[in-house]
Amino acid sequence: MKRSAAPPDNRMAETMAPDTAVAKGDGPDLGTLPSWDLNDLYPGMDSPELKADLDRMETASKEFHATYAGKLAGLDGNGFAAAIREYERIDEVLSRIMSFAGLVYNGNMVDPAIAKFYQSAQERVNVISTHLVFFTLEINRLEERDLAAKLKASKDLARYAPWLRDVRLFREHQLSDEVERLLHEKHVVGRAAWNRLFDETIASLRFPIGGKELTCAEALNRLSDRDPAVRKEAGTVIGRTFGDNIRLFALVTNTLAKDKEIDDKWRSYPRPVSARNLSNRVEDEVVDALVKAVKDAYPSLSHRYYTMKAKWFGQDHLDYWDRNAPLPDDTDRSIRWDEARDLVLGAYGRFSPELAGLGKRFFDNAWIDAPVRPGKAPGAFAHPTVPSVHPYLLVNYQGKTRDVMTLAHELGHGVHQILAGKQGHLLSDTPLTLAETASVFGEMLTFRALLDSETDPKRRKIMLATKVEDMLNTVVRQIAFFDFEQRVHTERAGGELTADRLGEIWMAVQTESLGPALRFDDGYRNYWSYIPHFIHSPFYVYAYAFGDCLVNSLYAVYQDAEKGFAEKYLAMLSAGGTLRHKELLAPFGLDASDPAFWQKGLGVIRGFVDELEKQG
């Protein structure tokens, strides 16, 4: 079940802060920035519709338990299909409720009334869904031959074969019904409570920069300001503010890492990343090959690029607060919201009018929340909600080129979720590794459109450099984040890690990944503390590198294709969770299990760096 809205998408960490609707006189005129309207889910926190759905699902879940608990093995194929349909109906309504609660909460994490509503919704839904826990556990106790016979005898049941396949991936790792119910019921006062503490702490922090008290999002955005003094002040204040709260962040990190270690031990997962790989439907060796390929490429990618960038600034080394600085000749003009919309939709439309048409719906309706507000979630995300409604996007638009790329990225998620939604609630969910394909492809379409329309050599160089930085943030940075998580979770098994030790591990992976051209100070030791995926979704981050390398290879196929690529691409997105990555990529002649696949994707980034090196 989708417990809440997705966590912030911080794949570009320091560069992809939430975007601010700036008042006139306090920044560039961005035009009218949209805010979402959640009425398509529920009219309000106290709405009769929401209360009625909670009451109905409480009754339905109890009836479902009474009807089917302990009886799945005796059902014929059609009876089993009817049980799944009812389970799907209940789960979709509960997911709708939690999508609404999560989106309201992400809109303002510091409002006490909203926080109370969010927690109350989690607790009520958790109690209701406890009556459903037995269902997947019992499915996993069915014998293979018995399940195969049911599937063969019923077309209705055969439709759910991919979902049953994915549920049964976890057969070896499920615990007794009593333990599973206990863990389910304790979730809201366990991991979910620590997640909430982290979210509300980050949302409440204020950073004194330039005589103003900035949110975390606004402070991080200053790291890409044109003024080097502003970047330096921001870098210093951010590190100091995180440092002032580092004991709390260390406690949250240690607690959740230990919680995961206990869970992994009881469920017999061999490695900290194993559960994530299984949920992503991707083999351990595929992820290992990706990580090794990226780490081996550090010298030819990030090390080489940041050495060049330091020289462009007339320096031998680049301070960490200058890593995402605009290039010296880059005016980075402000892009109004309506222009950003037209740029992204135009790029999508040149690839596929159908894709652009789906994307246009987000702008024509109130499905996007763009302004920065105090208490609003940092980062950006696309939340699918449920197929019977539509996705919502949270972006934070400040008018920079990178913000346009963020919009293109999240819109890619959104159109993917609409296409996959046709599969229905249970079959629409896409593994994270492939969920990033449409988003990164949307970015690539937008970037190529902007690059192809630019004739000024200086501007083209700046655009190419900006794209390289984004790709490094998506690939190198995320694999470094993954490396940090692996080291933390492995070392945590031997005892609690101090905040100083967490800082040491962070600095080790940053130095290794970014290279000798970067210069750090003690304040940067604290920057690990705000990355939300470490808290919300352990080991999620490699999905970005997976998606970027996959898209690089996919885009190369698109450039060489004569006809039919767009149709095959839309079919891939429409498959949702019904197919695995091998089946989805086969029509394009790609295979992620081939080690050469990752080299092909990394070669695109390397080629861009080569081109910049030639230009000097």
pLDDT band at 197 (very low <50, low <70, confident <90, very high): very high
Q: Please give the domain boundaries of the chain with CATH numbers for all domains.
A: 38-184 (1.20.140.70)
CA 396 to CA 408: how far, in whole Å?
13
Tell me the average pLDDT across 180-197.
92
Residue 26 has a pLDDT of 56
Sign of CA dihedral 98, 101, 106, 111: negative
Q: Which residue has the tokens 């390397």?
A: 606
Q: Are 307 and 514 in contact (CB under 8 A)?
A: no
Residue 220 has a pLDDT of 92
Q: How many CA atoms, within 13 angstroms, populate the side-chain half-sphere of residue 101?
A: 25
pLDDT band at 27 (very low <50, low <70, confident <90, very high): low
Q: Which residue has the tokens 């379409």?
A: 445
The closest alpha carbon to 539, from 227, 280, 161, 175, belongs to 280
Q: Of 8-17, 114-123, 243-252, 443-452, which range is least confident?
A: 8-17
Tell me the average pLDDT across 412-439.
92
pLDDT in tens, 82-104: 999 999 999 999 999 999 999 99
Alpha helix (H) ranges present in 42-160? 48-68, 77-107, 112-130, 133-139, 144-153, 155-158
pLDDT in tens, 502-523: 999 999 999 999 999 999 999 9
- State the angle between helix axes of 177-186 and 112-130 in degrees (0 to 180), rounded to the nearest 10: 170
CA 154 to CA 420: how far, in whole Å?
24
pLDDT band at 13 (very low <50, low <70, confident <90, very high): very low
Mean per-residue pLDDT of the chain: 91
Is the pLDDT at 11 greater than 70? The verdict is no
Residue 332 has a pLDDT of 66
pLDDT in tens, 375-407: 998 889 999 999 999 999 999 898 888 899 999
Report which secondary-structure segment, H or E, holds 518: strand 518-519
Q: Which residue has the tokens 């009817």?
A: 82
Q: Give the Cα-Cα-Cα angle 160, 162, 163 (nearest 5 degrees).
A: 65
Tell me the average pLDDT across 288-315.
96
Q: Report long-range pairs for 586-594 (Cβ below 8 Å, ≥24 apart).
A: 588/554, 588/557, 589/557, 590/550, 590/553, 590/554, 590/557, 592/282, 592/286, 592/546, 592/550, 593/283, 593/285, 593/286, 593/289
Residue 174 has a pLDDT of 93
Q: How many CA atoms, within 13 angstroms, populate the side-chain half-sphere of residue 372?
A: 25
Q: Of 74-83, 85-94, 273-282, 338-347, which range is least confident?
A: 273-282
Q: Are 384 and 417 in contact (CB under 8 A)?
A: yes
Tell me the average pLDDT across 136-147.
96
Residues pairing with 545 in the sheet: none
pLDDT band at 615 (very low <50, low <70, confident <90, very high): confident
Q: Report long-range pairs for 314-321 (Cβ below 8 Å, ≥24 apart).
A: 316/517, 317/517, 317/518, 317/519, 318/517, 318/518, 318/519, 319/232, 319/235, 319/518, 319/519, 320/235, 320/518, 320/519, 320/520, 320/521, 320/524, 321/223, 321/231, 321/232, 321/234, 321/235, 321/236
Residue 281 has a pLDDT of 87
Which tokens belong to 436? 């990033």
Q: Of 329-338, 357-366, 418-427, 571-580, which range is least confident?
A: 329-338
Tell me the average pLDDT across 601-606.
92
Residue 65 has a pLDDT of 97
DSSP state of 516: T
Is the pLDDT at 333 greater than 90? The verdict is no
CA 10 to CA 14: how far, in whole Å?
8
CA 247 to CA 327: how far, in whole Å?
36
Q: Are 329 and 458 in contact (CB under 8 A)?
A: yes
